[in-house]
């Protein structure tokens, strides 16, 4: 036996072995994909057996044998295309054309007297080459699109088809240039063996090989899994887990849905929109918001979608090979996401149901039975990560609660301290006045002492009112009924109030037309008075305070600008906080409680507005307030309507 013969026998044996293997698997689990594999390798087996027997017997084969051999050879391309279709879509036109070509060529070789005319023989070879080359390209495209183990399988399928194409080209050349028969045979045997090996690993990979191919992705997933729980938000963690699971399985997509025991729904997020992936979708539809309106979120009711949630309902990993058939009610959804087959596995931490891991693929053969264990392994890993995330969250909640309690305690003790100080002044001053009067009833009234008494009483009153406002700020009730008002008028009033205490150094800049907003006039005047009084308090007595009102887009705005001490940069974000006073404020000069701006912010925010500041230490501050504007003109319309009513 020559080396060439050995090579040939080896490749034949390989093909026969693969045929037996896929046949056994098809009998165990008769899916369309398994049937296609059996047909493909069956055709090759027929080809091998018939040609070997014919060659060994050294007789001219009967015509039916020749016809059967020819038909088996010609059907290879068509059967390969069916295998392509098991992994992705094949245009119907290409499928039909291949079928027609197959019928024509089989009829041709059956009724044409042998030997075939060379033109027809060459046409047959060209047909085969075209079909198999098409399959090669289709597998190569799939290999580029799919991740992990499926990518490797598709690469092997593409390589096998390339070898088969080469084998056909070589056979064609053998017919054309029969001078080098030995060389052609040798080449043909070699590429035949190569294609056999490739097809074997592509369509019937043994479990150990599958696992070996899955290992790098699995390793990468596990290596990164430890740090996942430190990602900033749950959504990112879920997306990383989904990506890891999809790539480990060699599937295009995976989803994690988290169980909410209150609503009895599984909640998931759509992946962030990736323009490349979106373009790949058959209908070109971008993945966006879910049925529930919340951006990018979807939910699944296990009772309503029992097929998708099978892994969750049964609490064990489950493979569904044909979603469209099993769950026709949701066929449109599955088609939209190009999902025909699904493995779902429960994510369960000890006994607590955390959620469900779903791994989708467009075609069933992407998965093998052994993948069920793998998906469960990934789901268990996800359970550990999500559980530890939950613990981290819980710790954060406890810390936040403690912080809130501490802030409240601080608030109470600061409030008590601030109340006691003027109270001490009032008590001692009043007793002092009384004692003086008792000792010398004829003495003139102590104007200085009385003045102090009044000042401290006012201070205490302001503080009590402020504290009451603060306690009401926690609830939305601080701001009462709102009415449309012209900010120009409100500012005018606040300035004339402030002018009483601060002299006539406030300058007003207002536009000629009204600037309207809906405000609780009393509360909003409190904000304005506070801002203007602050400006007067923290700036030199001879400097100007400028108050402006204007309309900006959909906002009614105002600003209060002073040329005072300014707010240090590090204090700027804090000036609107409770009891915060900037560190450059001298307590003796500026008696204040540190509540004014906090209350102002609360009032503005309860109006749906914003308050902020722009300040340069030493050069002055400008406080801004923006409220949602009332469309200009609506007030005029109302006025006109009112007039009509009045005149009618």
Partner 1 sequence: MPERPILVVDDDPTILATVSEVLDMEGFAVVTATNGAEALAAVDHAVPSLVLLDMRMPVLDGWGFMRAIRERGLTLTVVVMTAAADARRWGREIGAEGVLAKPFDIDELVRAVQHWRPHGTGET
The torsion angle over the Cα atoms of residues 238, 244, 248 and 253, rounded to 10 degrees, is 60
CB atoms within 10 A of CB 376: 20
Closer to partner 1 by CB, 161 or 456: give it: 456
Q: Does 452 bind partner 1 (CB under 8 A)?
A: yes
Q: Does 586 bind partner 1 (CB under 8 A)?
A: yes
Q: Does 29 bind partner 1 (CB under 8 A)?
A: no
Taking the complex as a whole, the smallest distance from the CB of residue 356 to partner 1 amounts, in Å, to 53
Please choose, from the candidates 540, 617, 547, 534, the residue with its C-alpha nearest in 3D space to the C-alpha of residue 576.
Answer: 534
User: Per residue, what are the HEC states of 444-476?
Assistant: CCCHHHHHHHHHHHHHHHHHHHHHHHHHHHCCH
Q: Which of residues 416-435 bind partner 1 (CB under 8 A)?
A: 416-418, 420-429, 431-432, 435
What is the rounded CA–CA span in Å between residue 440 and residue 437? 5
H or E segment and range at residue 22: helix 3-28
Closer to partner 1 by CB, 301 or 409: give it: 409
Please choose, from the candidates 574, 568, 567, 571, the residue with its C-alpha nearest in 3D space to the C-alpha of residue 621.
Answer: 567
What is the rounded CA–CA span in Å between residue 290 and residue 295? 7
Taking the complex as a whole, the smallest distance from the CB of residue 465 to partner 1 amounts, in Å, to 19
φ/ψ (deg, to 5) at 318: -140, 140
H or E segment and range at residue 344: strand 341-349
Q: Does 637 bind partner 1 (CB under 8 A)?
A: no
Taking the complex as a whole, the smallest distance from the CB of residue 568 to partner 1 amounts, in Å, to 16
Taking the complex as a whole, the smallest distance from the CB of residue 565 to partner 1 amounts, in Å, to 15
Interhelix angle 63-87/92-111, nearest 10 degrees = 170
- Using CA of residue 269, residue 273, residue 279, residue 284, what is the dihedral sign? positive
Of the candidate residues 98, 381, 456, 559, the single one contacting partner 1 (CB under 8 A): 456
Q: Does 537 bind partner 1 (CB under 8 A)?
A: no
Judged by CB under 8 A, which stretch of 213-221, 396-404, 413-421, 489-497 contacts partner 1?
Answer: 413-421
- Size, binding site for partner 1 by CB under 8 A: 25
What is the rounded CA–CA span in Å between residue 518 and residue 630? 7
What is the rounded CA–CA span in Å between residue 284 and residue 400? 45
Taking the complex as a whole, the smallest distance from the CB of residue 298 to partner 1 amounts, in Å, to 53
Judged by CB under 8 A, which stretch of 349-357, 409-417, 510-518, 547-555 contacts partner 1?
Answer: 409-417
Taking the complex as a whole, the smallest distance from the CB of residue 427 to partner 1 amounts, in Å, to 5
CA distance from start to end of the chain: 119
Taking the complex as a whole, the smallest distance from the CB of residue 443 to partner 1 amounts, in Å, to 12
Q: 361 in helix, strand or coil? A: strand
Closer to partner 1 by CB, 423 or 574: give it: 423
Closer to partner 1 by CB, 58 or 588: give it: 588
Q: Does 588 bind partner 1 (CB under 8 A)?
A: yes
Closer to partner 1 by CB, 31 or 421: give it: 421
Closer to partner 1 by CB, 172 or 422: give it: 422
Beta strand pairing status for 545-552 and 506-509?
parallel
φ/ψ (deg, to 5) at 582: -60, 150
What is the rounded CA–CA span in Å between residue 388 and residue 446? 71
Backbone conformation region of residue 93, classed left if phi is above 0, alpha if psi is from -120 to 50, else beta: alpha
Taking the complex as a whole, the smallest distance from the CB of residue 600 to partner 1 amounts, in Å, to 25
Closer to partner 1 by CB, 5 or 409: give it: 409
Judged by CB under 8 A, which stretch of 133-141, 189-197, 412-420, 463-471 contacts partner 1?
Answer: 412-420
Taking the complex as a whole, the smallest distance from the CB of residue 438 to partner 1 amounts, in Å, to 11
Taking the complex as a whole, the smallest distance from the CB of residue 580 to partner 1 amounts, in Å, to 16
Q: 416 in helix, strand or coil? A: helix
Taking the complex as a whole, the smallest distance from the CB of residue 573 to partner 1 amounts, in Å, to 23
Judged by CB under 8 A, which stretch of 143-151, 209-217, 414-422, 628-636 contacts partner 1?
Answer: 414-422
Instruction: Find residue 506's DSSP bridge partners.
Output: 545
Taking the complex as a whole, the smallest distance from the CB of residue 462 to partner 1 amounts, in Å, to 15
H or E segment and range at residue 46: helix 32-57
Closer to partner 1 by CB, 58 or 439: give it: 439
Q: What separation in angstroms does the CA of 374 have from each of 39, 85, 351, 370, 377?
A: 29, 26, 20, 7, 5
Of the candidate residues 2, 587, 644, 646, the single one contacting partner 1 (CB under 8 A): 587
Q: Which of residues 130-169 bind partner 1 (CB under 8 A)?
A: none
Taking the complex as a whole, the smallest distance from the CB of residue 624 to partner 1 amounts, in Å, to 30
Q: Does 593 bind partner 1 (CB under 8 A)?
A: no
Closer to partner 1 by CB, 21 or 433: give it: 433
Closer to partner 1 by CB, 95 or 423: give it: 423
φ/ψ (deg, to 5) at 566: 75, 175
Q: 620 in helix, strand or coil? A: strand
Closer to partner 1 by CB, 453 or 560: give it: 453
Closer to partner 1 by CB, 271 or 617: give it: 617
Closer to partner 1 by CB, 315 or 428: give it: 428
Taking the complex as a whole, the smallest distance from the CB of residue 412 to partner 1 amounts, in Å, to 9
Q: What separation in angstroms does the CA of 590 have from each of 414, 480, 565, 581, 587?
A: 17, 31, 12, 10, 5
- Name the token pair of 322: 């044909």
Closer to partner 1 by CB, 293 or 444: give it: 444
Residues that bind partner 1 (CB under 8 A): 413, 416-418, 420-429, 431-432, 435-436, 449, 452, 455-456, 586-588
């Amino acid at each position: 036996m020559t080396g060439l013969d050995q090579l040939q026998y080896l490749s034949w044996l390989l093909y026969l072995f693969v045929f037996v293997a896929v046949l056994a698997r098809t009998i165990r689990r008769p899916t369309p994909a398994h049937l296609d594999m059996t047909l493909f390798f069956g055709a090759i087996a027929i080809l091998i057996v018939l040609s070997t027997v014919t060659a060994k017997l050294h007789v001219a084969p009967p015509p039916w044998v020749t016809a059967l051999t020819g038909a088996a050879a010609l059907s290879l391309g068509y059967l390969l295309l069916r295998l392509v279709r098991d992994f992705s879509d094949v245009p119907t036109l290409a499928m039909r054309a291949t079928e027609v070509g197959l019928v024509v060529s089989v009829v041709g070789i059956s009724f044409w007297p042998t030997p075939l005319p060379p033109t027809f023989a060459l046409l047959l070879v060209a047909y085969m080459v075209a079909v198999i080359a098409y399959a090669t390209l289709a597998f190569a495209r799939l290999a580029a699109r799919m991740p992990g183990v499926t990518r490797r399988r598709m690469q092997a399928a593409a390589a096998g088809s390339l070898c088969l194409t080469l084998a056909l080209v070589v056979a064609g050349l053998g017919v054309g240039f029969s001078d080098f028969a030995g060389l052609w045979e040798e080449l043909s045997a070699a590429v035949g063996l190569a294609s056999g090996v490739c097809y074997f690993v592509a369509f019937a990979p043994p479990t150990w090989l599958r696992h070996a191919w899955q290992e790098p992705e699995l390793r990468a997933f596990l290596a990164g899994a430890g740090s996942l729980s430190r990602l900033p938000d749950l959504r990112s963690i879920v997306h990383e887990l989904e990506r890891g699971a999809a790539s480990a399985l060699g599937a295009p997509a995976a989803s994690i849905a988290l169980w909410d025991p209150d609503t009895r729904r599984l909640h998931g997020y759509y992946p962030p929109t990736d323009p490349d992936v979106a373009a790949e979708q058959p209908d070109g539809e971008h993945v966006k918001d879910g049925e529930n309106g919340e951006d990018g979120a979807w939910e699944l009711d296990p009772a309503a979608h029992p097929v998708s949630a099978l892994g969750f309902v049964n609490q064990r990993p489950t493979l569904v090979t044909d979603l469209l058939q099993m769950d026709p009610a949701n066929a449109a959804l599955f088609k939209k996401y190009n999902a025909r087959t699904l493995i779902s596995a429960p994510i369960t931490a000890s006994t607590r149901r955390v959620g469900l891991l779903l791994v989708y693929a467009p075609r069933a053969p992407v998965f093998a039975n052994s993948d069920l264990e793998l998906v469960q392994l990934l789901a268990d890993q996800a359970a550990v990560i999500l559980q530890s995330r939950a613990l981290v969250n819980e710790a954060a909640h406890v810390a936040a609660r403690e912080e809130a309690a501490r802030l409240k305690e601080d608030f109470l003790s600061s409030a008590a301290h601030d109340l006691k100080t003027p109270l001490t002044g009032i008590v001692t001053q009043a007793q002092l006045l009384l004692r003086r009067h008792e000792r010398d009833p004829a003495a003139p009234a102590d104007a200085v002492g009385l003045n102090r008494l009044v000042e401290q009483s006012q201070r205490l009153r302001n503080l009590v009112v402020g504290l009451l406002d603060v306690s009401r700020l926690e609830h939305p009730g601080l701001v009462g009924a709102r009415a449309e008002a012209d900010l120009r008028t409100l500012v005018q009033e606040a300035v004339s109030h402030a002018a009483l205490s601060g002299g006539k150094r406030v300058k007003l800049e207002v536009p000629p037309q009204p600037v309207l907003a809906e405000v609780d006039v009393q509360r909003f005047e409190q904000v304005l008075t506070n801002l203007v009084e602050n400006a007067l308090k923290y700036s030199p007595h001879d400097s100007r305070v400028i108050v402006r009102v204007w309309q900006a887009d959909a906002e009614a705005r105002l600003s209060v600008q002073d040329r005072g001490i300014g707010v240090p940069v590090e204090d700027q974000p804090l000036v609107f906080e409770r009891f915060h006073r900037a560190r450059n404020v001298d307590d003796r000069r500026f008696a204040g409680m540190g509540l004014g701006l906090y209350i102002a912010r609360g009032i503005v925010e309860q109006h749906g507005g914003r308050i902020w500041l722009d300040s340069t230490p030493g050069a002055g501050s400008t406080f801004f307030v923006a409220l949602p504007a009332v469309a200009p003109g609506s007030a005029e319309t109302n006025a006109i309507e009112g007039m009509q009513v009045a005149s009618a």
